[in-house]
Amino acid sequence: MTDAIKIDVWSDIACPWCYIGKRNLERGLAQTADDDDAPRVEVTFHSFELSPDTPVDFDGDEIDFLAGHKGMPRERVQEMLENVTGVAAQAGLAYRFDILKHTNTVKAHELLHFAKAHGAQPAMAERLMSAYFLEGRHVGRIDDLVALAAEVGLDAGAARDALESSRHLADVRADQAQAAAYGINGVPFFVIDGTYGVSGAQPADAFAQIARQVWAERQDAEQEPAAQTA
């Protein structure tokens, strides 16, 4: 049986385009599900901090943060947020920047690695992004993250221990080092089978196309040795 296509996704919980990219990837892969020989795919999320200097408890709203961090006029920031909200809506996501709680995301990334070790990373990634962009939940404090971990079926005590001990901080840093080695300086960024790099929140159709292409290449590569020995 052909091995699953590996899709490695570098993203940040606090990146609005990353959630859109995640949803478009899911929709693209869903388009291939009814193919006669549907691609099998394994998705892994990797850590990328857009603003590692952000405090856990930021005093202000998203406009305050972006205006200060990027030095942009507040009116321009408002236009940017309205634009991304419109794009998110097309992906079925109802962003709420008016209630969003900007925070440092390193602990959320540690939690994603904890979830990965327990086979629940996809569910945890979805829960964190939904909590942040749609529900106005805090995703920077340990108590809040433990509650979210429990909501996807992870052991709350074990999650708290992992976060308080920073057990997975080295995994976060390893992801960031790999991103630097790949030359990734913006997210979302998708690495397909360690060969193809896809930058940005591409449309669902684009993800469907590349999944089918890589799967076909896999099939052809497996058939060639068989033909040579026949």
Q: Which CATH number covers residue 81?
A: 3.40.30.10
Distances (CA, A) of 26 to 23, 35, 58, 77, 91: 5, 15, 32, 29, 10
Name the band, by pLDDT with cuts 50, 70 and 90, for residue 175.
very high
pLDDT in tens, 131-146: 999 999 999 999 999 9
- Number of independent structural domains in the chain: 1
Residue ranges making up the domain that contains 131: 5-229
List the structure tokens of 101: 């709680």
91-117 average pLDDT score: 97
| Two tokens, residue 156 | 């709350």
Q: What value does the mean pLDDT of the chain take? A: 95
How much is the pLDDT for 16? 98
Cα gap 65→128, rounded to integer Å: 20
Query: How sure is the predictor about 70, in pLDDT bands with cuts at 50, 70 and 90?
Result: confident
Alpha-carbon 209 to chain mean position: 20
Region 159-171: mean pLDDT is: 98
